[in-house]
Structure 1
Amino acid sequence: MSASVSVTAEAPAEAGKLRRVLGLGSLLAVAVGLVVSQGVMVLMLQGAGIAGLGFLIPLSLAFLLALTYVLSFSELALMVPRAGSLSSYTEVALGHFPAILATFSGYIVVAMFALSAELLLLDLIIGKVYPGLLPDMSIAYGVLILFTLLNLLGIDIFARLQSALALVMVIVLLALGLTAVTGSGSEPALAGGIGADWNPLGAGVLTLVALAIWGFVGAEFVCPLVEESKRPERNIPRSMILGVTVIFVTIALYCVGALFYVPREELSGSVLPHYLFATALFGEAGKVLLVVAAVTATCSTVNSSLAAIPRMLYGMAQNGQAFPQFKSLSRRYGTPWVAVLFVAMITGVPILFMGDDPDSIGLLLLAAAVAWLLAYIICHLDVIALRRRYPHMHRPFRTPFYPLPQIVGIAGMLVAIYYVSPAEELTLKIFLSAGAVLGLVSLIAVFWIKLVMRKPLFRPEPIESVQ
């Protein structure tokens, strides 16, 4: 994977405008770096523990579902090249209410749940490897504050950091997987029995698609950066397609490698299965490698989120769908500083209330998955609606085999939401958590659209209004 950052002087900032400084390497780093988080490292190994090698089946299906949303986002991002991303697409496809719901459910709510879980995991893993080194939650808040400040300093700083973080993270995970699979580390503890019952769940393994798809959500975070991308018609689709492909290979090797060294029941039942894998493979040295992977994964995810989500809010404010303060750009660095601070704040609040409770992490991640999949369904509906409304409009990227990817994507994601948790006792809590937040967002959206914007809830805007 290239980690080069294309930041040149050829894209001077215009007053009130974002600057085009991001090349393919930087965008690929965003696509990979946001997705491969500590939460992914944990959930993927838990899935491998539940299903053994059979987990490769739902993992492959999740990869195909990820390609469907990548195709839809590529078409929409280049047809409506705005920082608002999903809100801008949905505004002209389905109306303002679905636009606000999609963006808040898929990104603002996810920031509250998934980023908080990510920071909690980092605090837990460092506390496990170096007990008593720092007070509880100091690492979580320290990372959040650090990357908030760095993202306030401009997109150039973000790009350099993101490329380095993503490269180190992928190298570490590939090293873990390849070392385990090739047997170049310590002697595999379970090599003799790994293939004895390769798919213990049988057809039931398909219920793990929902868990597996969490390993691929987030590649579309390159889309809000379209106004800061060079050659977006080429680099936006390529970065996402390459990104989810790199992720699939990395996760597959990582999961198979873990099954050589850690019993399935330990992987599925542990809050920190990546800790078990690293220490079983490399002993004490594995702890250091794991800390490197954990730090780079969490920092990469937080860094990407604090770059992309504020630009979504910036775009929504430009469309009148959010507070006008989110349009504020730093005079010196050209960053949407109010939006950056807002995202940092909503990320820190759940950490404050949940503290270092390990049991809350799985709930946060799966509740985030429900909200994110809902946003993907709306994205597919956007493509279908805009193809019907503007059949002859120029599209720099057109989804191959339309509408098959959209139909498959919608159906697959509805099934994934239905089977969101392999543990039935968690399902109700997940739907209650996600439902409560989404219900509140829906209520606020209705009042905002009717009383502030004074527009219909479901009347699409002309596409000229966002181009």
Structure 2
Amino acid sequence: LTMFSYCELGTVIPHAGSEYTFAKAAYGGFISFLTGWFEWLSNMFYATLSAIGVAYIISYVIPINVPLVAIFVVILFTAVNIRGVKEVGTVETILTIVVLTILGIYAWNGWSYGLSMEEFKLSAPQGLIGIFAATAYLFELYLGAEAVAVAQAEIKNPEKTIPRAMILSSVILIILYTTIVYVTLKVVPPETIAGQTSPITFAAEQIMGKLGAILVTIALAIAGLAATNEAIMAQSRTVYALSRDGYFPKAFSKIHKRFGTPYVAVVLCSIFTIAFTSTGLVNFIVYAVNLGFIVGFSIVNLSLIKLRKEKPRLKRPFKAPLYPFTPIAGIIISLILLLFIDPWVMVLGAEATILAYLAYHFRMVGYHRIRIAIGGINLGIGCLAALLSYLMKTGVVILSGIQSSLFEMLIQIFVLVSAVYLLAGVLNVTAKT
């Protein structure tokens, strides 16, 4: 449903930046910056996850150092993206054909292995809650179509190319992954493959033997490489757009003289990606990817509604069908999925929002005003700590069940905190420009 919103906005606003560019046209200000911020982070985590996934898939057939191989994958596609979208497009076209061919063979052999259309039925043992929980975890599997909009400024004839590419890729992804998962779970029970580093490769070995496992490993590795490539491209274009609009330092929007690509943004994004790739925190990264994209999908749908309402005369080569049902349904589903994101990742999201708020105002308001604001916060905390220490010392505030020595120590800590924050507040407020 959300892809229809991407298609319409992508033809109306053919500039690099995707979700960020759409939010900028609809809302501007902090909302657009926050959208770009989350778009950058989600693609960074997506590149991390894809690179780690490639390494784990290869490790099923060849003993390797997973973090080291994942880092090598990131470096490889950093170089590819510096060369430009033309080369990237050629590489991805070849990779996609190979992947579809091998996975098609796997699916066909899966049906031949003992499955039939008569057996085909849908089941949900955990009910609707289980479906949403699984979707919140596997959301990243169906990503990819939205990346077309990220490089839309570099796409020829975007009015026709963008809708066709997005809709076709979305349909292919849904059919392909649904078929693969169904065949895999029908051939091998879930409890058997639960502990496998590459469940589909394990299932392929049962269906097609060792050769089949190797072929599917190649296909999955190629798919992971393509996803890494796409994510590095997407995050670098987002950082480029934020830099172009003055939110990030201008150096990040530098264009390579020979290749015409934002090479500084590509390198910067890859450095962060490598840092997270080395951690190996797969589950955390999965939810971080999904949180960022779910937030982005919600804002894209909201942007479509706002632009339809406030700028009805805009030229729209493609219009989202069944408006306003499609964007509203997309928003509702996105909000439901947020309920199933890991709580610690939601905390990370809240912290990222606060950091984005500070970064935005630091850039837009100016350094001196930010120091004054921070100084005011410091003075407030210092006064509060002083008040608490006074109330505790005079017996107005009593903490029952705490030893007197510990109580006195708490008073001293509050006095120290008060002194430090009051001093910091005075220094920030009185600082010269």
Q: Same fold (TM over 0.5)?
A: yes
User: Aligned partners of 1:431, 1:81: CA distance in 2, in Å?
Assistant: 32
Q: Which residue of 2 aligns with 1:397?
A: 318
Q: Is contact 2:56-2:197 (8 Å) kept?
A: no
Q: Which residue of 1 aligns with 2:345?
A: 430
Task: Tell me if 1:265 matches 2:191.
Answer: yes
User: Aligned partners of 1:305, 1:416: CA distance in 2, in Å?
Assistant: 22
Task: Tell me if 1:129 matches 2:54.
Answer: no
User: Aligned partners of 2:277, 2:61: CA distance in 1, in Å?
Assistant: 21
User: Aligned partners of 1:118, 1:73: CA distance in 2, in Å?
Assistant: 23
Q: CA deviation at 1:151?
A: 1.6
User: Aligned partners of 2:50, 2:126: CA distance in 1, in Å?
Assistant: 29
Q: Which residue of 2 aligns with 1:146?
A: 76
Q: CA deviation at 1:126?
A: 1.9
Give 1:321-360 correspondences, 5 Å limit: 321-352=247-278, 354-355=279-280, 360=281
User: Aligned partners of 2:127, 2:231: CA distance in 1, in Å?
Assistant: 37
Q: CA deviation at 1:244?
A: 0.6
User: Aligned partners of 2:54, 2:362: CA distance in 1, in Å?
Assistant: 38
User: Aligned partners of 2:301, 2:19: CA distance in 1, in Å?
Assistant: 11
Q: Is contact 1:178-1:257 (8 Å) kept?
A: no
Q: CA deviation at 1:203?
A: 4.1
Q: CA deviation at 1:87?
A: 1.8
Q: Which residue of 2 aligns with 1:111?
A: 43
Q: CA deviation at 1:306?
A: 2.5
Q: Which residue of 2 aligns with 1:166?
A: 96
User: Aligned partners of 1:403, 1:195: CA distance in 2, in Å?
Assistant: 34
Q: Percent identity?
A: 26
Cα shift readout 1:212-252 (whole Å, capped 9, x = no counterpart): 54332231111122221111100101100000101111112
Q: Which residue of 1 aligns with 2:3?
A: 70
User: Aligned partners of 1:137, 1:213: CA distance in 2, in Å?
Assistant: 23
User: Aligned partners of 2:331, 2:122: CA distance in 1, in Å?
Assistant: 32
Task: Tell me if 1:410 matches 2:331.
Answer: yes
User: Aligned partners of 2:352, 2:34: CA distance in 1, in Å?
Assistant: 11
User: Aligned partners of 1:384, 1:197: CA distance in 2, in Å?
Assistant: 34
Q: What code does the residue aligned with 2:200 have? A: H
Q: What code does the residue aligned with 2:21 have? A: S
Q: What code does the residue aligned with 1:441 have? A: A
Q: Which residue of 1 aligns with 2:412?
A: none
Judge which range, 140-149 or 193-202, deviates more. 193-202
Q: Which residue of 2 aligns with 1:316?
A: 242
Q: Which residue of 2 aligns with 1:91?
A: 24
Task: Tell me if 1:301 matches 2:227.
Answer: yes
Q: For residues 436 and 210 of structure 1, do their structure 2 counterparts lie closer, same or farther at Cα, with a shift above 3 Å needed? A: same
Q: Which residue of 1 aligns with 2:173?
A: 247
Cα shift readout 1:310-368 (whole Å, capped 9, x = no counterpart): 2222222222222211221111111110011112111101122x14xxxx212211221
Q: Is contact 1:377-1:409 (8 Å) kept?
A: yes
SS at match of 2:141: coil
Task: Tell me if 1:274 matches 2:200.
Answer: yes
Cα shift readout 1:175-208 (whole Å, capped 9, x = no counterpart): 2222202x1xxx44x98x9779944234444433
User: Aligned partners of 1:88, 1:203: CA distance in 2, in Å?
Assistant: 34
Q: Is contact 1:194-1:260 (8 Å) kept?
A: no
User: Aligned partners of 1:392, 1:289: CA distance in 2, in Å?
Assistant: 52
Alignment length, in residue pairs?
Answer: 367
User: Aligned partners of 1:350, 1:103: CA distance in 2, in Å?
Assistant: 19
Cα shift readout 1:73-119 (whole Å, capped 9, x = no counterpart): 1111221111122222212211221112112213x212332221222
Q: For residues 386 and 312 of structure 1, do their structure 2 counterparts lie closer, same or farther at Cα, with a shift above 3 Å needed? A: same
Q: Which residue of 2 aligns with 1:364?
A: 285
Q: CA deviation at 1:432?
A: 2.9
Q: CA deviation at 1:308?
A: 2.8
Judge which range, 73-82 or 271-280, deviates more. 271-280
Q: Which has the higher helix share?
A: 2
SS at match of 1:395: coil
By relative contact order (CA 8 Å, sep 6+), the higher-ranking structure is 1
Q: Is contact 2:57-2:217 (8 Å) kept?
A: yes
Q: Is contact 1:73-1:220 (8 Å) kept?
A: yes
The structure with the largest alpha-carbon Rg is: 2
Q: Is contact 2:54-2:225 (8 Å) kept?
A: no
Q: For residues 180 and 317 of structure 1, do their structure 2 counterparts lie closer, same or farther at Cα, with a shift above 3 Å needed? A: same
Q: What code does the residue aligned with 2:126 have? A: L
User: Aligned partners of 1:209, 1:135: CA distance in 2, in Å?
Assistant: 30
Cα shift readout 1:386-443 (whole Å, capped 9, x = no counterpart): 11221222222222221111110000111111123xxxxxx22332344333443333
Task: Tell me if 1:376 matches 2:306.
Answer: no
Q: Which residue of 2 aligns with 1:447?
A: 362
TM-score, with structure 2 as normaliser: 0.78
Q: For residues 278 and 95 of structure 1, do their structure 2 counterparts lie closer, same or farther at Cα, with a shift above 3 Å needed? A: same
Q: What code does the residue aligned with 1:120 have? A: I
Q: Is contact 2:44-2:231 (8 Å) kept?
A: no
Q: For residues 281 and 331 of structure 1, do their structure 2 counterparts lie closer, same or farther at Cα, with a shift above 3 Å needed? A: same
Alignment partner of 1:215 out of 141, 151, 155: 141
